[in-house]
């Protein structure tokens, strides 16, 4: 995917991975909580393959991680 929002999708994926790891969840565990495949979860988090996600999926991920959805949309430069 090469859109004008590729960098934003990449940052959302990195945020998801960051908060998932803080909760000590594997990609498989998070994927199961929100009823998507592990492959799709992996694609969402992969920094070399920016993948768009629906708002519903973003909200489901935030709920599963027990964080406000806004945290997934807050872009920081250092991790």
**What are the boundaries of each domain within the chain?**
6-72
What confidence tens digit (pLDDT) does each residue in 5-62 have? 899 999 999 999 999 999 999 999 999 999 999 999 999 999 888 888 999 999 999 9
Write the burial class of residue 74 (CB in 10 Å: 0-12 exposed, 13-18 middle, 19+ buried): exposed
Residue 71 structure tokens: 């945290």
Q: How far is CA 49 from the centre of its chain?
A: 12
Tell which CATH architecture fits domain 6-72. Orthogonal Bundle (1.10)
Model-level pTM? 0.89
CA torsion sign for 36, 38, 40, 45 is positive
In the block, tokens 């949309």 appear at 73
């Amino acid at each position: 995917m090469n859109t004008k929002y590729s960098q934003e999708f990449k940052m959302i994926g990195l945020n998801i991975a960051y908060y998932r790891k803080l909760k000590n969840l594997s990609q498989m565990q998070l994927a199961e909580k929100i009823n998507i495949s592990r492959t799709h979860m992996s694609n969402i988090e992969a920094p070399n393959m920016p993948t768009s996600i629906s708002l519903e999926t973003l909200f489901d991920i935030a709920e599963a991680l027990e964080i406000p959805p806004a945290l997934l949309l807050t872009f920081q430069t250092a991790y």
